[in-house]
Structure 1
Amino acid sequence: MSAFETDLWWRLADYEIGPADAAFTFAQRLARENRWSADYAARVLTEYKRFCWLACEAGHEVTPSDAVDQAWHLHLTFSRDYWERFCPEVLRMPLHHGPTAGGTVERTRYYDQYAQTLASYEAHFGEPAPEDIWPDARRRFLVDPKAVRVNPADAFIVPRGKAYGFAAAIGLALTALALGVLL
């Protein structure tokens, strides 16, 4: 049976996080806090629901992608909604968030668990997880952990490709200036 044919999926699909009368929705807050487009945040929210389904039904421990984990972290801040409505009424079980204890053994455990989560995702949802939200295990655990959160009010953020272009332009300008001074 497909995940989409289960009662749990229907409860998840119908579920809206947070108060119904909120002027600023959960998806809008998720987009703002992560500097995502509204469309991407909505897609992450769908993937968060799929992750929650897997956490209840996969039959093994599951690990979220970083984007899905951001949705989970934000949902946990809506503590009354999460513990008094979501877990008992939608999931019908508690879903605790446990961080890693760190170290090589834990990294290996979460790496393997994440790879198993991706395999279960495909098996239960009938398609691979979207790579822009669920990168492969190597990226999730070896590349992405090097990321840091930066407040754009405190720093200039220049995408790598543009930074190379700026550096090349500055280098050419300095070379031209130096040649002009020498001649």
Structure 2
Amino acid sequence: MPHDGGVTPTDDPLWQRLEPYAIGPPDAALSFCSRLARENRWPEDFAGRVIEEYKRFCYLCATADHVVTPSDAVDQAWHLHLTYSRDYWERFCPEILGCPLHHGPTAGGEAELAKHYEQYALTLRSYAQVFGNPPGDIWPGARRRFFEDHKAYRLHPREAIVMRRSIARWLVGTGAVALLGVAFIVWRALWMS
């Protein structure tokens, strides 16, 4: 059901149910959006945008004529939504989406990578037909999604120091120069005695 010009499918009853849908209990001290932001170390406004993109992904899951694959950010929203299991299985799938939406892990290997790469590229094309061009900060191109970003892994800030490579290189270079200076002073002191 393609739509032109990036216009959302406002006439579709599925989209009319999806767009206003809010995940989780409305009276929770920590909202779904706040939790998604906290768990991914995202600004809350970015997490809110990811949730909107997750809804668009779910729309494509139900309407596209092919299997769709999420971006990494959208996948994080999906993973968290699955932990709200009663909401997901008893409300979202039957009442909002109108069908079950299962999340399966990849089996790994080159064939799976090629399959998911192609599915993701098709997803981006279907997205563009229905919603217009996807935001690149949430939906990167297929090459970046599978050959650059997939090499990333999540760290807990208490378990690691994360810094830019340029700073790390500077620190290593400075440390090497300092170490050579100390070695020279020790060598000279030993040679002079």
Normalised by the length of structure 2, the TM-score is 0.85
Q: Deviations over 1:96-142 (max 9, x none)?
A: 1111111111111100000000011111102x111111111111112
User: Are 2:114 and 1:93 aligned?
Assistant: no
Q: What is the 5 A alignment of 1:62-141?
A: 62-126=68-132, 128-141=133-146
Give the deviation of 1:14 after TM superposition.
0.6
User: Are 2:168 and 1:153 aligned?
Assistant: no
Q: Deviations over 1:129-181 (max 9, x none)?
A: 11111111111112222212211111111122332343344455556x46984
> Which residue identity does 1:152 align to in structure 2?
P
SS for the counterpart of 2:82 is helix
| Stretch of structure 1 that moved more, 143-152 or 53-62 | 143-152
Cα distance in 2, alignment partners of residues 71 and 148 from structure 1: 16
User: Are 2:148 and 1:143 aligned?
Assistant: yes
**More RCO (CA 8 Å, sep 6+):** 2
Cα distance in 1, alignment partners of residues 85 and 121 from structure 2: 29
Q: What is the 5 A alignment of 1:19-38?
A: 19-38=25-44
Q: Deviations over 1:68-95 (max 9, x none)?
A: 0000000000000000011111111111
Return closer, same or farther for 1:24/1:98 CA change in 2, 3 Å cut-off: same
Structure 1: unaligned runs, 5 residues or longer: none
> Which residue identity does 2:128 align to in structure 1?
E
Cα distance in 1, alignment partners of residues 116 and 15 from structure 2: 25
| Stretch of structure 1 that moved more, 140-149 or 46-55 | 140-149
Cα distance in 2, alignment partners of residues 12 and 174 from structure 1: 61
Cα distance in 2, alignment partners of residues 146 and 11 from structure 1: 36
Structure with bigger gyration radius: 2
Cα distance in 1, alignment partners of residues 174 and 13 from structure 2: 58
- Please give the root-mean-square deviation of Cα atoms over the aligned residues, in Å: 2.0
Normalised by the length of structure 1, the TM-score is 0.90
Structure 2: unaligned runs, 5 residues or longer: 189-193
Cα distance in 2, alignment partners of residues 136 and 161 from structure 1: 26
Cα distance in 2, alignment partners of residues 81 and 162 from structure 1: 45
Structure 1 runs of 4+ off > 2 angstroms? 1-4, 159-175, 177-182
Cα distance in 2, alignment partners of residues 151 and 144 from structure 1: 18
Q: Percent identity?
A: 57
| Stretch of structure 1 that moved more, 4-13 or 58-67 | 4-13
> Which residue identity does 2:169 align to in structure 1?
Y
